[in-house]
Amino acid sequence: MNIVLLDRKTLGEDLDLSALLAFGELRIYETTSVEETPERIQDADIIITNKVVITQKMMQDNAKRLKLICIAATGMNNVDLPAAQALGIEVKNVAGYSTNSVVQHTFAMVLSLLEQLPHYNQLAKDGRWSHSGLFTNLSAPFGEIGGKKWGIIGLGKIGKGVAKIAQAFGATIDYYSTSGENRINDYHHSDLETLLSECDIISIHCPLNANTNNLINQSNLRLLKEHAILINVGRGGIINEADLAQALDQQTFYAGLDVLSVEPIEQGNPLLSIKNPNQLLITPHIAWTSIEARQKLLAGIVANIDTFIHG
């Protein structure tokens, strides 16, 4: 088998790919542009791609030997699935590998914003604490998760993982089902407006689809409580970023974003020029990237190839 990995850089240089060598010849490309893809997949029996797009034309015209596409992710929107099916090409993804990592990152963002850790870190390092004469500093008062109401948008595996840990901190849980179908749970279901207006911490864990595109926007951001924390580790398009930037300038709440509508973030994104940068924490789509999660992802890819070859 000729195996082509199109965007190795997205998996991390610390990941050992030697298990893939058991299936045949492996060609590795750090990144692959749209223009480079057709040539690089010409002799491939198996393609491994995280975000590189595989179109119907590429499969028909350029990848005559192609038998299997392994997506190094859960989402499959970068492959033309109907075309692959029509051409007899199997497409396999990996689900559930990053649940623990995303749950953990959700709490990392919440705790950083809640306790104003960047503020206190800088204060300790730039001399202000040294010159204060006090053993402590109370310049950015913060509360506890315990006793607060935590709202979860999208109560799948990740949402339930967050709920369990938030309860351990002493929070009460409300959730909103974006599909309208997930209504039988151990937690209280609220409509979106009630959840946004009543919860102290809100975290987003739903997929991006017709129901969730632009779900959080100018019309409902105004409902957020003073000092509320809004976290998005779902998909960028769920929050209207221009509306969020405006709301952060006009209201006193905090936002943590691991995902954006365009990645990497564009320099003209209004979120980069809000009045008070301490109200916003942005990380570069890393919630899924713990080493353990990436090892599980690779193991899933290996299992998919093994199943395809050996049945």
Angle between helices 99-114 and 291-310 (to 10 degrees): 160
CA separation for the pair 174, 239 (Å, rounded): 19
Q: Which of 40, 105, 205, 285 is catalytic?
A: 285
**Is 183 labeled as catalytic in the residue annotation?**
no
CA separation for the pair 41, 59 (Å, rounded): 9
- Cα angle 91, 63, 311 (rounded to 5 degrees) comes to 40
**Is 285 labeled as catalytic in the residue annotation?**
yes
Q: Which of 8, 105, 205, 235 is catalytic?
A: 235
Order of all β-strands in the sheet with 188-189: 188-189, 172-176, 149-153, 201-204, 229-232, 254-257, 280-282
Do 292 and 267 touch, CB atoms closer than 8 A? no
Q: Which of 25, 36, 39, 263 is catalytic?
A: 263
**Is 263 labeled as catalytic in the residue annotation?**
yes
Reported for 78-81, long-range contacts at CB under 8 A and 24+ positions apart, including other chains, are: 78/49, 78/51, 78/52, 78/53, 78/54, 79/49, 79/53, 79/54, 80/54, 80/55, 80/56
DSSP conformational letter for 21: G
Position of tokens 């929050």?
Answer: 239
Active site residues: 235, 263, 285
